[in-house]
Structures are given as C-alpha cells and as structure tokens.
C-alpha cells in the first residue's frame, strides 16, 4: 500500500514537471496565451509571491538582527578602546606630574639652602583614613634618620612635620591639620629695605583651604601677595622654608593685630614625594637669631 502511494506521488510529480516544462516552452514561442495558460501563469505567479514574501521578510529580519549585533559589537569595542585611551591619558598625566615633582625634589635637594641640613628623600605610601588630606605615611623611618618634629617639604614648599616614626615608616602631619598647639613661627617677606614681619601660622580654614596667619603686632604693611617663610624660631622648622602667599588681610580680635589668609605653596592633595629635613646642624643665621632672642630675654628680666 505504501509503495503504491509512493508510486502515484512520483508519477504526479513527473506530470507536473512535464506540464511546467511544456508551459515554459510554449510561452517562449508565443506572445498570446490561452485561458488555461493564463490561469496557470497567474496561479504560479501568485504562489511565488505568497512563498517569496515570508521568505524575503524572514531573510531581511535575520539580516537586520545580524547588523544590529555587529553594530553593538563594534560599539562595545569602540567604548573599550575609548576607555583605554582615557586611562592611558590619565596615567600619562599622573606620570608627567610625578616626573615634574621628582625634578622639583631633586632641584630642591641640590639647592644651596639644603646644603646646611641632612635632606632625606621619601615617597608617600599611604594617607590616613581618619584625617584624609591631613596625614600621610612615608617610606622612611628611624633607620633612615627620620624622627619626630622634623620638617617635611616638597619642591614647592613646606607641607608639615613628622609626627611619629617607626624603623621603616613615618607619619607626617600636614599643615592643614595644624592648630594653635602646633603653631609655626613665621616671617612675612617685605621689601629689601624693610624688616620682615613676624607672626604665627595658627590654624587652617576649611572653607577657603587657606592657612591662618596672625602677626605679633598690628602692622599695616601686611598685604596680599607677600610670601610667608618659616622663621627658624621654636626649634622645629629651619629658617627660610616657603609656606605660602598672603591672599587676604583682615582685622584680628579686638583689632589688636592682623589676621591673614595664606594660600599654601604646596598642594596637600597631590603629594607623592617629599624631603624630610634633619636639623643636624644649625645655620649661622639661626644661631645669631637664637642668641639675639636669648639676649632680649635677659634684658627684659
């Protein structure tokens, strides 16, 4: 039974093929078609349209999906490349800053000023979580000659002092963490013909990110643009370390003195390499200043 059906199906297929062939041959020889030929021709055309429309739609649909996938993949690759370029630019900028910082440190170390002291170069290895931007840890300690209360500077200026030291590392308290208990004796540079004004860095203003300077006396010569240096008095900081520049001058408490805002010369937020200054020997100027201060105290008594 199955073979019989299969045989009939095969015969029907052969007949259809012969019929289509005859129609094609007939169409190629004549321009006018019979009614039957018109019907067959239109039926075949309609069937082709019915079959081709879904096929074309499906083909176009999957082709569009592939194009979307390709565009998405290319977009992801471009994003990754752009992110890589940005990362490289950032790393390049950081390396450039670090090179400039190292060059400034080297220039400072070789300066005539530091020839009077034991200058110890160090790198920042950590920042305090509790006092962000107020304490840093450096990779030099007591075995390298670093000890508490030593001044710490960068190529731009002073940033603070050593607070504690262990054999291999030290903690540095930055100037923006100073208060009146850690005040710094300073001089304000004036014209060559005028004596420097003296005062103290007594704190840090969080709103302006500037240091606070109080003069020892009410002096109208204090102006914006003047540079503030360590005075060398107090036994902690050597004389002549640049601290910052006066930006604004106001009246102090009860108008008895002047208070100034000082923009730090060094950037506390971007410190990678520093110099620790060991006051192993006192300069001639400091010795004379100390002797003069001692003489004044004797005279007053």
Cα Rg for the chain, rounded, in angstroms? 43
Measure the N-to-C terminal CA separation of the chain; round to a whole number of Å: 139
Look at residue 2 in the predicted model and tell me its pLDDT: 47
Token readout for 189 is 């540079």
Residues 142-187 pLDDT 10s: 999 999 999 999 988 999 999 999 999 999 999 888 877 788 899 9
Distance of alpha carbon 279 from alpha carbon 285, whole angstroms = 13
CA separation (Å) from 67 to 64, 86, 154? 5, 28, 57
Who has greater pLDDT, 189 or 213?
213
Q: Residue 165 forms beta bridges with which residues?
A: 170
pLDDT bucket at 3, cuts 50 / 70 / 90: very low
Residues 10-61 pLDDT 10s: 676 566 666 666 655 555 555 565 666 566 566 656 655 655 666 666 777 7
Closest CA relative to residue 42, chosen from 17, 23, 68: 23
Domains for the chain: give ranges and CATH numbers: 113-281 (2.40.10.340)
Looking at the whole model, is its pTM more than 0.85? no
The three-state secondary structure class of 18 is helix
Least confident of 39-53, 119-133, 134-148, 231-245: 39-53
Give yes or no for a contact between 186 and 201, defined as CB atoms under 8 angstroms apart: yes
Q: Is pLDDT at 300 greater than 60 in this prediction?
A: no
Distance of alpha carbon 225 from alpha carbon 206, whole angstroms = 21
């Amino acid at each position: 039974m199955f073979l019989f059906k299969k045989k009939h199906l095969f015969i029907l297929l052969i007949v259809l093929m012969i019929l289509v062939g005859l129609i094609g041959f007939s169409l190629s020889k004549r321009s006018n078609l019979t009614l039957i030929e018109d019907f067959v021709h239109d039926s075949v055309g309609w069937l082709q349209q019915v079959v081709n429309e879904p096929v074309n739609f499906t083909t176009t649909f999957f082709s569009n999906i592939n194009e979307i996938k390709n565009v998405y993949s290319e977009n992801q690759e471009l994003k990754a490349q752009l992110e890589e370029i940005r990362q490289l630019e950032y790393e390049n900028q950081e390396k450039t800053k670090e090179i400039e910082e190292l060059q400034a440190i080297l220039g400072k170390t070789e300066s005539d000023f530091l020839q009077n002291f034991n200058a110890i170069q160090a790198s920042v290895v950590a920042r305090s979580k509790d006092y962000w931007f107020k304490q840093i840890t450096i990779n030099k300690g007591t075995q390298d000659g670093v000890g508490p209360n030593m001044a710490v500077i960068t190529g731009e200026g002073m940033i603070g002092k050593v607070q504690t030291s262990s054999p291999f590392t030290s903690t540095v308290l930055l100037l923006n963490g100073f208060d009146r208990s850690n005040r710094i004796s300073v001089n304000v540079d004036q014209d060559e013909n005028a004596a420097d004004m003296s005062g103290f860095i007594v704190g840090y203003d969080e709103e302006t990110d500037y240091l606070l300077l109080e003069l020892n006396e009410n002096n109208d010569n204090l102006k914006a643009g003047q540079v503030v240096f360590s005075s060398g008095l107090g036994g902690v900081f050597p004389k002549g370390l640049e601290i910052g520049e006066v930006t604004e001058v106001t009246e102090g408490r009860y108008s008895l003195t002047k208070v100034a805002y000082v923009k730090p010369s060094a950037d506390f937020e971007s410190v990678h390499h520093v110099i620790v200054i060991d006051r192993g020997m006192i300069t001639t100027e400091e010795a004379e200043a100390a002797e003069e201060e001692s003489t004044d105290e004797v005279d007053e008594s």
